[in-house]
Amino acid sequence: MGSFKNTMIVFFMLMTCGLGQQIRAITAYQNCDQKWHSEQINGDSQKTICQNGSLVSCISMILQTSGKTINNRAVNPAILNKYLTNNNGYKQGSEINFSVLDKVGLHIVKTVSDLRTAIEYYNNKYYIVLNINYGKNYGVLIGYNEKDAIYLINNPINPSETKVAAKDITVALIFKPL
Ligand SMILES: *[C@@H]1O[C@H](CO)[C@@H](O)[C@H](O)[C@H]1NC(C)=O
Ligand SMILES: *[C@@H]1O[C@H](CO)[C@@H](O)[C@H](O)[C@H]1NC(C)=O
């Protein structure tokens, strides 16, 4: 009886703490993958996918997971970078011009600093990219534990670092596949 009670308490804690939260399956890419690490972003020899391609990698993960293709090819960071380079997809300073993504089937809904709003969208099947430490890193949200303010990401820079604290999140970018 006692152990049943304990089991129920643990079960209840798992539910309320959100530790039983399911992780969303999203393709993971790494910036520094040998296949594309040295490719230049927007033709700038100072900027490679390995060094500066964190956001490109995150958006590739979303496009690939939602079944979008570019020129009939599955999307990876190299293919997306080439597309953006050739289609005015970068603004000056190699920032991505998000409205160009509409043409490959991904729409940016908005950018929010309120994580509660981001989680509402996440729970309605939108994709969320977290800007971490003012753009030093980006990650695709794959789960969360709201109570402890821990967010789980596919991290393209350091794949083993999956947990991000709310205080380190600058803004959340909300995307919707078209
Ligand atoms: C690109 O990466 C380099 C090396 O990590 C970094 O010093 C620089 O600030 C980055 N630039 C941009 C625009 O992200
Ligand atoms: C971004 O892309 C849109 C759509 O192609 C274009 O109309 C707009 O001028 C671009 N903005 C910048 C700053 O390049």
Q: What is the pLDDT of residues 122-159, one digit of tens each?
A: 999 999 999 999 989 999 999 998 788 899 999 999 99
Q: From the CA of 177, how far away is ligand 2's center (Å)?
A: 19
The whole-angstrom separation of Cα 125 and Cα 145 is: 17
Beta carbon of 51 within 6 Å of any ligand 1 atom: yes
Determine the 3-state secondary structure of 59 from DSSP. helix
All structural domains of the chain with their residue ranges: 2-177
2-177: CATH topology: Cathepsin B; Chain A (3.90.70)
Q: What is the largest CA-CA distance in the chain?
A: 68
Higher pLDDT, 90 or 94: 90
The whole-angstrom separation of Cα 107 and Cα 112 is: 15
Contact of 56 with 16, CB cutoff 8 Å: no
pLDDT of residue 30: 98
Note the pLDDT tens digit of each residue in 4-34. Answer: 555 555 454 444 445 446 799 999 999 999 9
Q: From the CA of 160, how far away is ligand 1's center (Å)?
A: 21
